[in-house]
Structure 1
Amino acid sequence: MRNAVRKLRATTDKTEAAALYPKVTKMLDKLAKTNVIHKNKASNLKSKLAIYINKLA
């Protein structure tokens, strides 16, 4: 999980980041569903990643 989030945050290309985003969110949702991470933690990560992607030029 951490590596996928790091990889997405390290991406500077908006199209590449937008392509990775659904895969990362799906993984976060699965981890939250199985109680590996808290559901609010998954939600916060998804929100911050979406904001990051929207800020990319």
Structure 2
Amino acid sequence: MSDSERAMFQRDLYFLKDVKKKIYQPECQFRDVVDDQIEHLEWILKEQTPKD
């Protein structure tokens, strides 16, 4: 994964975490979708980060 791709995924992750903070009870189902996307992006970043 290139540095620009990693930066893009990181920006998306920060954005979704910020969105999650603004979701209230009525949008509970949407929150589950956001949680899934956050987990997916964290997994991608973890798997694609070079191990030292």
What is the TM-score with the length of structure 2 in the denominator?
0.52
2:39 equivalent to 1:54 = no
Tell me which structure has the larger Cα radius of gyration. 2
What is the TM-score with the length of structure 1 in the denominator?
0.49
Q: Note the residue ranges of structure 1 that are not aligned, 5 or more in a row.
A: 1-10
Which residue pairs with 2:2 in the alignment? 12
Moved over 3 A (4+): none
Higher relative contact order (CA 8 A, sep 6+): 2
Q: Note the residue ranges of structure 2 that are not aligned, 5 or more in a row.
A: none
Share of identical aligned residues, percent? 7
2:33 equivalent to 1:41 = yes
